């Protein structure tokens, strides 16, 4: 039976598994063959330091002279080098043959100008503050933080979020009502199904949604077997008065702080109507507060959850305020849903990193999160103003809406020009989203051509050129 090299704690050099086939004419011959093959196959790279004679001999239960002789033979053959004070290493010229070509997944080249919605300026991530918060969090973390986690999330983060959401968004909650998740989509899967590839959710449909919204969210619900019913949209947000028409609705999904993507807050009367409907029909209102911190020309609009914490599920994340790379979000739940949601999440769910949770908790508790949001609010407002000024100067016939808050604007286009505009943009290397792509397939009424312009996406140095490219592809004014 071949014998394996199992690395000892005292061994110095590279970790490597070796098998010594018995048919190779003794221990020395077997070891020489195994080392030669490891170098030839590339498992021992040029320059790799091998273990001392004594350590390797102890690992393999062979005599020290056996290892010394094997090393000496390979040095003589040119596979290894030996130098006083440097130990025994794989020779630089012992380059293994090139492996067989394997098809690699390659990312297509990015656009020259990116004005797609849905992400913040990646270059503005607060690296220094995040790093400092992580260090402080690691120093203060109890030992149990490095063991199996709590599916509800770290208490440090839930406590920080409870204070922050109450102060900034008017959410009525305690840490016990908050469940930490990996973002909005994860929360939606926990509520309606599709967790881990299974269509097993807590809630059932049909579910009313806004007639314009993210297709990804509708696809997720559709995959979970949840039928979605569109509500019409106007300048006051979703028409929640339509909730009484479809029979059997179990809930409604809204973006009340800033309707996505058309913009504008849900009118106060419609907010109240949605909550009253949920109470009367034993239904739930799911609130997507995707960019509620970013408002510019109006007073802050609090969360609908504050009107009735037992009828509203409030969902948020840091994907817009910090970065989508930090997979952290939260669910503020009615008290009776906390345990059922945790049961769906399971004891071995792929939870958000405890270290990231502790870092975010420290960032929020220290006030650095507030400062970052205020700084980005000013920066994004300046970008929005720059967009408005560019359009006023070069395309005054193009209407702009949805700019009082959020990270994107909607540009109204002449009827029948959206597709041609997107094609022209693609030819210029300009990435844009068309408004009709967000329309619910079952929505009724006339369609509107437009562009959804994410003015937060480009880095600062590239924003001016992106606006110039945008103005260059917009359709001219009519006769």
Three-state secondary structure call for residue 304: helix
Give the span between the Cα atoms of 35 and 43, in whole angstroms: 9
pLDDT of residue 134: 96
- Other Cβ atoms less than 10 A from the Cβ of 281: the count is 14
CATH number of 126-370: 3.40.640.10
479 falls in which pLDDT band (50, 70, 90)? Answer: low
pLDDT of residue 347: 72
Query: What contacts 24+ positions apart, CB below 8 Å, involve 438-442?
Result: 438/212, 438/213, 438/214, 438/215, 438/260, 438/261, 439/211, 439/212, 440/209, 440/210, 440/211, 440/212, 440/213, 440/218, 440/228, 440/230, 442/228, 442/229, 442/230
SS3 string, 331-368, reads EECCHHHHHHHHHHHCCCCCCCCHHHHHHHHHHHHCCH
- Kind of pairing, strands 450-454 and 433-434? antiparallel
For residue 176 the two structure tokens come to: 């016990």
96 has a pLDDT exceeding 80: no
Give the span between the Cα atoms of 359 and 125, in whole angstroms: 14
pLDDT of residue 230: 95
Give the span between the Cα atoms of 170 and 258, in whole angstroms: 15
pLDDT of residue 51: 87
Which whole number is the average pLDDT over 261-275?
Answer: 93
% of the chain with per-residue pLDDT over 90? 63
Burial class (CB in 10 A: 0-12, 13-18, 19+), 332: buried
pLDDT of residue 283: 94
- Other Cβ atoms less than 10 A from the Cβ of 438: the count is 21
Lowest mean pLDDT among 35-39, 118-122, 281-285, 347-351: 347-351
Residue that is written with structure tokens 């802050």 in the block: 300
Which whole number is the average pLDDT over 230-247?
Answer: 90
Give the span between the Cα atoms of 35 and 41, in whole angstroms: 10
**Residue 301: closest CA among 335, 274, 266, 330:** 266
Lowest mean pLDDT among 44-53, 91-100, 361-370: 91-100
Which whole number is the average pLDDT over 114-121?
Answer: 92
Lowest mean pLDDT among 119-133, 303-317, 347-361: 347-361
Beta strands of 284-355 (E only): which ranges?
284-288, 312-317, 329-332
Give start-end residues of each CATH 3.90.1150.10 domain in the chain. Answer: 373-473
Output DSSP code: residue 157: H
E strand or H helix at 387, and its extent?
helix 368-394
Specify whether the CB–CB gap between 67 and 13 falls below 8 A.
no
292 falls in which pLDDT band (50, 70, 90)? Answer: confident
Give start-end residues of each CATH 3.40.640.10 domain in the chain. Answer: 126-370
pLDDT of residue 199: 47
363 has a pLDDT exceeding 70: yes
197 falls in which pLDDT band (50, 70, 90)? Answer: very low
Kindly report the CATH class assigned to 3-90. Answer: mainly alpha
Lowest mean pLDDT among 35-49, 111-125, 133-147: 35-49
Kindly report the CATH class assigned to 373-473. Answer: alpha beta
Three-state secondary structure call for residue 383: helix
Residue that is written with structure tokens 């093959």 in the block: 37
**Residue 288: closest CA among 341, 235, 325, 330:** 330
pLDDT of residue 435: 96
E strand or H helix at 24, and its extent?
none
Give the span between the Cα atoms of 334 and 9, in whole angstroms: 52
Mean pLDDT of the chain: 88
% of the chain with per-residue pLDDT over 70? 90
For residue 180 the two structure tokens come to: 């930490």
Which whole number is the average pLDDT over 287-296?
Answer: 88
Give start-end residues of each CATH 1.10.10.10 domain in the chain. Answer: 3-90
pLDDT of residue 10: 45
The end-to-end CA distance of the chain, in Å, is: 88
Three-state secondary structure call for residue 296: coil
pLDDT of residue 419: 96
User: Who wins on pLDDT, 52 or 349?
Assistant: 52
335 has a pLDDT exceeding 60: yes
């Amino acid at each position: 039976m071949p014998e394996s090299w199992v690395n000892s704690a005292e061994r110095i050099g590279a970790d490597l598994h070796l098998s010594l086939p018995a048919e190779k004419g003794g221990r020395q011959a077997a070891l020489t063959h195994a080392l030669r093959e490891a170098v030839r196959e590339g498992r021992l790279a040029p320059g790799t330091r091998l273990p001392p004679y004594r350590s390797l001999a102890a690992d393999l239960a062979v005599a020290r002279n056996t290892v010394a002789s094997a090393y000496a033979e390979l040095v003589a053959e040119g596979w290894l080098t030996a130098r006083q004070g440097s130990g025994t290493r794989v020779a630089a010229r012992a380059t293994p043959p090139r492996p067989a070509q394997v098809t690699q997944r390659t990312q297509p080249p990015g656009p020259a100008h990116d004005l797609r919605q849905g992400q913040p300026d990646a270059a503005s991530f607060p690296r220094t503050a995040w790093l400092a918060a992580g260090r402080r969090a690691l120093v203060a973390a109890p030992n149990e933080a490095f063991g199996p986690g709590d599916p509800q999330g770290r208490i440090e983060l839930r406590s920080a979020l409870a204070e922050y959401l109450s102060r900034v968004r008017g959410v009525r909650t305690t840490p016990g009502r908050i469940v930490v998740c990996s973002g909005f989509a994860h929360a939606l899967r926990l509520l309606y199904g599709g967790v881990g590839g299974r269509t097993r959710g807590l809630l059932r449909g049909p579910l009313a949604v806004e007639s314009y919204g993210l297709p990804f969210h509708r696809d997720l619900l559709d995959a979970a077997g949840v039928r979605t019913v569109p509500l019409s949209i106007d300048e006051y947000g979703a028409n929640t008065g339509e909730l009484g028409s479809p029979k059997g609705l179990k809930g409604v999904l809204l973006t009340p702080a800033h309707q996505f993507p058309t913009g504008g807050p849900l009118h106060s009367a419609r907010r109240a109507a949605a909550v009253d409907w949920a109470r009367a029909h034993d239904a739930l209102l799911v609130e997507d507060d995707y960019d509620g911190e970013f408002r510019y020309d109006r007073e802050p609009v609090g969360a609908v959850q504050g009107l009735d914490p037992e009828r509203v599920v409030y969902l948020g994340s840091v994907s817009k305020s910090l970065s989508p790379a930090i997979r952290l979000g939260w669910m503020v739940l009615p008290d009776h849903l906390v345990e059922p949601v945790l049961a769906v999440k399971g004891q071995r769910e792929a939870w958000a990193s405890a270290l990231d949770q502790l870092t975010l908790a420290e960032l929020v508790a220290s006030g650095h999160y507030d400062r970052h949001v205020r700084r980005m609010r000013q920066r994004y407002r300046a970008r929005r103003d720059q967009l408005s000024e560019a359009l006023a100067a070069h395309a005054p016939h193009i209407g702009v809406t949805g700019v009082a808050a959020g990270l994107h604007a909607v540009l109204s286009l002449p009827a029948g020009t959206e597709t041609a505009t997107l094609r022209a943009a693609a030819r210029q290397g300009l990435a844009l989203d068309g408004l009709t792509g967000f329309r619910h397939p079952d929505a009724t009424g006339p369609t509107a051509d437009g562009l959804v312009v994410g003015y937060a996406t480009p880095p600062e140095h590239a924003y001016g050129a992106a606006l110039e490219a945008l103005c260059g592809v917009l359709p001219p004014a009519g006769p």
